[in-house]
Structure 1
Amino acid sequence: MDSKTLHFLSQLAENNNRDWFQANRKLYDAAKADMEQLVGYLIQEVGKFQDLGNIQVKDCLLRINRDIRFSKNKAPYKNNLSAGIGPGGKSSGKIDYYIQIQPHGQTFLGGGMWETTPEQIARYRQEVDYNAQELKTIIEDKDFRAYFPEIHGDALKTVPKGYAKDNPEIELLKRKQLFFMHQYTDKEVSSKDFGKQVLKGIELLKPFTDYMNHVLYNQGE
C-alpha cells in the first residue's frame, strides 16, 4: 500500500466532514485505487486455492460512507478502507476474509463468527459439544496461533442453557462471537510485500472460515 493512503485516512479522521472530503476528493480517489489494487491482487491469489466464483473488486469493497441514521456519531465517513473477500463478495452473508486499512497500527485481517442469529449460535454450540476437537485442531495449530494469538468477541458470563458447567469445552461453548484477527503496523502496510503478508494470513485463516461456514450455513445439507 502507498503510504499516502494511510496519510489520507489519518487526515480524514481529523477532518471528518463533507466539505473537507469533497475538497480532497482526488486524495480519496488515489487511496481507493490503492485499495482496489490490493483487493485485486488478493482475489487473484486466493482464487488459486479457493473458488471465489467470478467476483470482481467492486463486489468486495465496502463503502467509505457511514450509515448515520441510527448512530449518535454523525461523522459521515469511516476512518478506514475495508473489503470482504470470499465467494459472493462482501454481500454473501457468510464468513469471509475481512481486511481493514487504518493508520496508527489499526490495520488488520480477520474472520470468524461475529453477527450471528440465535439459531446459528445454537448450531455452533451443538457442534462444539458433539465434536470440539475438529475446531480445536484448527485454532490451536501452532502456525495459526502464532498469527492469530487470541479469540476476539463476546462470550456469556454464565453457562449457556442446556450445558453443564463442568463441560470440558465450556469456554468455547460460552462464545457468542468467535473472531480472529492479525494487526499490521503502518510500516508493514506500506511495505512492498504487504499483499503477500495478508495472503499468508488468509491461507492460515481458511480452514477456520471453512469450518465456521459449514457449521453456521450448511448444517443438514
Structure 2
Amino acid sequence: MIQFDKKSLQFLKDLKENNNREWFTEHKKEFTKAQNNAKEVYAAIREKLETHDEIEAFKLFRIYRDVRFSKDKTPFQPHFAGSFSRKGAHLRGGYYLRIRPGESFLAGGFWEPNKEDLLRIRKEFEIDDSEIRAIISDKNFIKYFEGKLEGEELKTAPKGFEKEHPAIDLIRKKGFIAIRKFTDQEVISDNFLEEVEASYKALRPFFDYMSDVLTTNLNGESIL
C-alpha cells in the first residue's frame, strides 16, 4: 500500500531545523528516499484523480529555493508540493497538495485568474450568486472545506461594481481557492490518499460551475 512514510516526514522536519547546504549534502541519501516516496504518493493521487477527472499534467515542485530576490536565504523548501492541471480549455481549475510538517494542506481552484477571467467571474456573481452559494454551502463542501473560499480580496468594491451589492463578499475576491489542512498524523495515516481523493471529488461541482462560467459569455453562449 502506498502512503507517505513517517521517515519522509521526519526528513522534512530535520531539513527545516538544518536548512543549509552542508547538512543537505550529508543527508542526500535520505532526501532521495523521501523524494521517491513523495513521487509514489503523488503518482497514486494522479491515478485516483484520473478515474473521475481528466488530468493533463502534473508538476512536482523543486525542493531548491530561488533566493536571488528573497530576504530568506535558506536554500531549501522543507516540503514536497505538487499540482495537477486539468485537461483542455474547457476544464478549468487545478489541484494542489503540499506536505510540510505542521503545515500540510491541499487546495483547488483559481489562485490568480487573469484579468479577463476575473472580470467574467465577478460579472457572473453580480448577475446571480445563488448557484455558487449553493455549491459552497453543500454538505460535502462544508465537510472538507468548511463551506468557504479563500483568496486575496480587495478592501472595497472593484471598479464598476456597487459597494452595497449582495454578492460583494465574493466580487471583492481576487482568487477563489478551497483549502483543507492536514495534521502530521493524518499525512502519514493509511487513509491519507483516500481523504485527498474525497476532498478533490468534493471540488468537482465548483470546478464544473466555474468551467461553465469561463467558457461562456454573459448570455450563456460558448466562447470556445
Identify the residue that residue 20 of structure 1 maps to in structure 2: 23
Give distance in 2, aligned partners of 1:43 and 1:172.
30
**Mapped pair 1:145 → 2:148:** no
What is the aligned-residue identity percentage? Answer: 36
When normalised by structure 1's length, the TM-score is 0.88
Identify the residue that residue 7 of structure 1 maps to in structure 2: 10
Aligned partners of 2:86 and 2:93 also within 8 Å? no
Per the alignment, do residues 64 and 166 of structure 1 end up closer, same or farther by CA in structure 2, a change over 3 Å counting? Answer: same
Q: Deviations over 1:139-187 (max 9, x none)?
A: 1112111210133221111122211222111111111122111111111
| Equivalent residue letter for 1:130 | I
Give distance in 2, aligned partners of 1:16 and 1:115.
30
Task: List runs of 5+ in structure 1 lacking aligned partners.
Answer: 89-93
Aligned partners of 2:112 and 2:174 also within 8 Å? no
More helix by share: 1
Task: List runs of 5+ in structure 2 lacking aligned partners.
Answer: 218-222
Please give the root-mean-square deviation of Cα atoms over the aligned residues, in Å: 2.0
Give distance in 2, aligned partners of 1:154 and 1:142.
25
Identify the residue that residue 131 of structure 1 maps to in structure 2: 128
Any residues of structure 2 matched to 1:1-221 within 5 Å, and which? 1-53=4-56, 55=57, 59-87=58-86, 95-104=93-102, 106-149=103-146, 150-216=148-214, 220-221=223-224
Give distance in 1, aligned partners of 2:179 and 2:153.
17
Aligned partners of 1:62 and 1:83 also within 8 Å? yes
Deviation at 1:103, TM superposition (A): 0.7
Per the alignment, do residues 214 and 17 of structure 1 end up closer, same or farther by CA in structure 2, a change over 3 Å counting? Answer: farther
Q: 3-state DSSP class of the match of 2:179? A: strand
Q: 3-state DSSP class of the match of 1:196? A: helix
Give distance in 2, aligned partners of 1:84 and 1:19.
29
Deviation at 1:216, TM superposition (A): 4.6
When normalised by structure 2's length, the TM-score is 0.87
Give the number of aligned pairs.
212
Aligned partners of 2:108 and 2:200 also within 8 Å? no
Aligned partners of 1:113 and 1:212 also within 8 Å? no
